[in-house]
Every structure is written in structure tokens, then in C-alpha cells.
Amino acid sequence: MPASLPGPTVGVVGGGQLGRMLGEAAAPLGIELVVLDPTPDAPAAQVATDQLVADFDDADAIRDLAERSDFLTFEIELADQERLDEVSEATGVPCHPDPATLALIHDKLHQKAALAEAGIPVPPFRRVDDADDLRAALDELGTPAMLKARTGGYDGRGNVPVESVDDAESAMDAVGGPAMVEAFVDYEREISVVAAQGDGEVSTFPVGENIHEEEILREMVVPSHSPEAVLEEAEQVGRDVLDLLDGRGVFAIELFEAADGRILVNEIAPRPHNSGHWSIEGAHTSQFEQHLRAVVGWPLGATDLRAPTVTKNVLADGDGSRPARVDGVEEPLATPGANLHWYGKREARPLRKMGHVTQVATDDESRAELLASARSLVDGLSFE
């Protein structure tokens, strides 16, 4: 689409924090955002042009969204690929990435099988439908291993570490449905490549290092501490993955850097991702602006790193649910190079992502110093 201002309207299925940050990136570009989300006054509604309150698979609501939009996209894998495909075809409003990509992503077993068939390196994996299948797979793959729900899991949900064959029954009960199991990877670090596929062009952001705890992404460090050869290989694997995925947009490719230097693909997200939040301040173009540029067919932006950058997620603590309120924000606001992001969620629940703090080097701070500063700033926040 030729670029002109004011820009087009993009309809987004999903109105969570990713939709909110898409809205924040859309405004300077002159792009209007309309979001669809079942939660009234969803986080994105506070910055978008409008919100349609409806379920992600509501065909009538998706059609209404398309009729108000020039392009469709999604910020959550719970978007219904069949409904999006039907509405896009019926209305002529293009959807990017292609809904077929969602079909591939929704089932982790199919995702891994497609990657392996394309020759992209992945950990050894097996389909498991019951505890007997899991025991047989563990005899072959060894323990420990990671059992994953084939569908519905995100942010570490649906992932169950399996320490021994004796845990097979309880692990399958915990997953609660069709699953796959992966061999344990002796990895040096977890890294990710955030890549964009535009109208005939591809761009990648600097490789980031991801720090997880209890299967939840807590911190991102950019650039990763990986050796240069590993960084180059990771970028190439990211580009190879894009060859499998149809349509324009940003894709996050989560990777293991094995102890022997090999790169193995963990999972793919067909949308902006938590591992790319650092780019808002740390790159010349954020992943959110890049996604919008790609979706509407505009030239992609520069992804160069401005300076070493780290991000620390703000997770709600305590027990139970309560109105979202956080105190102690003065220190992040007063710290040079620190940037506080609040997601606008009305309810705080244990381990729910409520925001993040990004720390960008303003002088010659090391990545370790930046991370220590970000941790201190987040530790100073309180949900009491």
C-alpha cells in the first residue's frame, strides 16, 4: 500500500498489552487502531480508536471489525484462524500474518513437525496421547524432559517438566489433554530473534537473551552474550523460519543456544512478543511499529540497536486477585535511561504481567549493571 497520511485503519483481534503497545506505535504513524476483545475496557482500548467487545471467534464481530478496517491482524494466538480467513475472503480485507500461520502455531506438535520437515533444527520430540505414550517416549528421549500441551499454552502455561518415568501419570494429568514431549536441551542460554516480513523485504532485530523463571519470561538482555558465530547462526535460523510462514508482520522465534553452540528452535509467536519489548526504547524502530509497517505494506524501519538495553517484567505478587495498583514508581521515573510501562490492566493476579521497566545504557554501563539497575527498580515497586 502506498504510504500516505492519514494512514489506514488496522483492525486487531486481541486487546491486551500487545494491542496497547500497537496502539501507542500507531498514533505517530497516523494509523488508526480498532481492537476486538471480550474484556470490556481492555488495555488496548485506552489508546485505540475503538474497541469491539466480543469473543475472539465471534464471526459477526470479526466481520464488523473488517468492515471498519483496511487491514486485519491479531495480537493473540487465541484468534480463530477459520473465522479470520472466512471474513478476510468475504470482505476483501487482507489479514496479516496469513490466518494459515495461526493454524500452524496453534498446535505445538504440528509446529515442530513442520520445522523438522523443513530441516530447521529442533529438539527431539514425540507425540504423546496418554501416560503409556509418555513412558515410551521418555525411555527413548531420556529424562528430564519437557511435556507441553499441544494447544492453548502460552507464557509457560501448559508446560510441565518431567523428572522421571514415574511422573508420567501426574504430568499428563497436569497437562490435561493432547501433548508432546521434548528432550531436555543442555543449553547455555535462551535467546530469541524478532523478525519482520514485509512487502518483499525481511528485517531482524538484534538477538536478545531471555531469562526465564518458573517457565515465565522475566528479563531480556540485548544484545545477547552469545558468541558472534552463534548470533549469526541464530539470525539465519530466524530467516529460515520466516520462509515457512505466510503473510506480513512481526514474528518472534524463541531459540535454545545449546552448550555445544548449536541453535535449536523452541517456539514461534506470529506477532510481537514479550522478548521484543526492549525495542521500544532500545532500537530505532520498535517491534510494534515494525509490525504495523509490515501489515499495511509500508517500508520496514531500521532495527539497529541504539545502545545496550535490558527489560525486566513487572509481575503482580501476593495472593489472590485485587484491583491493580502499584506504588514506588518515583524511582523508575527519576532514573536516567529507565522507562516504565504500565499495561492498564484493572486486576492484579499472582504472576500476571502488569508492565515492564526497560533500562537503556546512557553512558558506558555494562549489561550486567543495566540488569542490576532494572531489577532494583522493579523490586522497589509494590502492589500492596
Q: What is the pLDDT of residue 307?
A: 97
| The pLDDT of residue 268 is above 90 | yes
Task: Outline where the chain has alpha helix (H).
Answer: 17-29, 59-67, 81-91, 99-106, 108-117, 131-141, 168-175, 228-242, 279-282, 287-296, 330-334, 367-379
Average pLDDT for the chain: 95
pTM comes to 0.95
Give bridge partners of residue 359 from the DSSP assignment. Answer: 310, 338
The domains found in the chain, sorted by start residue, are 9-95 (3.40.50.20), 124-183 (3.30.1490.20), 187-379 (3.30.470.20)
Q: What is the pLDDT of residue 154?
A: 60
pLDDT in tens, 176-224: 888 999 999 999 999 999 999 999 999 999 999 999 998 899 999 999 9
pLDDT in tens, 124-151: 999 999 999 999 999 999 999 999 999 8
Q: What is the pLDDT of residue 23?
A: 98
Q: What is the pLDDT of residue 241?
A: 97
Q: What is the pLDDT of residue 293?
A: 98
- Residue 334: Cβ-neighbour burial (10 angstroms; 0-12, 13-18, 19+): exposed
Q: Enumerate the known binding-site residues for ATP.
A: 108, 148, 182-185, 190, 212, 266-267
Whether the link from the prior residue into 6 is cis, omega within 30° of 0, is yes
Q: Which residue has the cell 521484543?
A: 276
CA within 13 Å, CB half, 296: 26
- 215: Cβ–Cβ under 8 A, 6 or more apart, which residues? 155, 156, 157, 159
pLDDT in tens, 30-66: 999 999 999 999 999 999 999 999 999 999 999 999 9
Which grid cell is 47? Answer: 489508546
Query: What is the distance between the terminal CA atoms of the chain, rounded to a whole angstrom?
Result: 49
Q: Enumerate the known binding-site residues.
A: 108, 148, 182-185, 190, 212, 266-267
Supply the Cα-derived Rg of the chain in whole angstroms.
20
Q: What is the pLDDT of residue 174?
A: 93
Cα–chain center distance at 280 = 14
Q: What is the pLDDT of residue 96?
A: 98
Question: pLDDT band at residue 225, thresholds of 50, 70 and 90?
Answer: very high
Q: Return the number of other C-beta atoms located less than 10 Å from residue 12's C-beta.
A: 31
Q: How far apart are CA 40 and CA 167, in angstroms?
A: 41
Q: How far apart are CA 3 and CA 34, in angstroms?
A: 19
Which grid cell is 14? Answer: 486481541
pLDDT in tens, 288-316: 999 999 999 999 999 999 999 999 999 99
Mean pLDDT score, 320-335: 94
Q: What is the pLDDT of residue 155?
A: 58
Question: pLDDT band at residue 152, thresholds of 50, 70 and 90?
Answer: confident
Q: What is the pLDDT of residue 156?
A: 58
How open is the CA angle 110-114-120, to the nearest 5 degrees?
135
Mean pLDDT score, 160-175: 94
| The pLDDT of residue 157 is above 80 | no
Question: pLDDT band at residue 5, thresholds of 50, 70 and 90?
Answer: confident
Mean pLDDT score, 94-109: 93
| The pLDDT of residue 384 is above 80 | no
Residue 57 Rama label (left phi>0; alpha psi -120 to 50; beta): alpha
Q: Return the number of other C-beta atoms located less than 10 Å from residue 113's C-beta.
A: 16
